[in-house]
A and B are shown apart, each in its own frame.
Chain A
Amino acid sequence: MALRIAASCVNCSACEPECPNEAIYPTESAFAIDPAKCTECIGFHDDPQCALVCPVEETCVIDESYPRYQPAA
């Protein structure tokens, strides 16, 4: 139920302030997403903000290792 940031991250920080869940944090060489906080922007925006603002395609991607986020009914 989350997005993840791939190794192609250029560390530009554009995603960090856009995240409505404050799930994005800097690491040594790239940014990362806390999957426990990420809601794929469901409930906030039509599309995940990190993926929309990221300058490198296919960098903020769905993390297949997590089940898709299910908003509370």
Chain B
Amino acid sequence: MAARRALAAYLFLLPALALLGVFTFYPVVFGTALSLFDYDVISPPRFVGAAHFRELWTDRYFWIALRNSLVYLAVVPALQLGAIVLALWVRRPLRGIGWFRAAYYLPVVTSMVVAGLLWRWLYDESGLVNYVLLRLRMIHAPVHWLSDPSLALYAVMAVTLWKGLGYYMVIYLAGLEAIPPVYEEAAALDGAGAAARLFRVTIPLLRPSILLASTLSAIAALRVFEEMYVMTGGGPVYSTYTLFYYMFDQAFNALHLGYAAAVGVVLAAVTIGLSVVNFRLLRQGGLSYY
């Protein structure tokens, strides 16, 4: 009987485990190993040791991509700060607040392609962004948001902010709801002002959410690709070329699969390193029974 139940359990799990094995565990493990091989799909893989990593060290485009990916991480604190402020704001019991929340969430459910096309038009030399800024006299001549190499990366970052704000707002709203109101009430009874309650009670108790959201956001920022692919194609002159973009190009355009895997491994190492730092910084705080 027990053996039959165990067999039934494994059969229930079979589809999920088979698919996870084939499309997650196998490709991640062997993809990492692939960084030590030369592979172009057609001829069999050839072991080259650490040659790809040595090659990366002197690869100009790799360093450009790495630099851009690291600069792009600036969206993380901006996004988290904005989302926390927004969550605290829309927590108020104002009439019709649900509609505002929905409006902030709208970009989240939109396809990146639609968002990218929209912003490509908005950012155009004769697009709406320039129109509004010219009208407000904040600029004197149209700005080439996406075709100026010194601006393009930041213009793309703004789209990531626009698209992600609502998502993290929802995470923080859930985090705020999980904090029992007694803490703030007790602080208020002890004579803490609104600012003290916010910075000494609410924000420290929100730490688990901040840790989670900033880790998710950093991982997403390091893997940024679709924004660039749709809006700038990595240009102008590689100013929006990221590590993920380089991996994509090497794997699927140049068919240097082993080299692409090496780029992927570096990207993974940066991601893991950053997550560890993030955990160290934000581990404390929150409720102990969380």
Are A and B physically bound partners?
no
B-contacting residues of A (Cβ < 8 Å)? none
Interface of B toward A, CB cutoff 8 Å: none
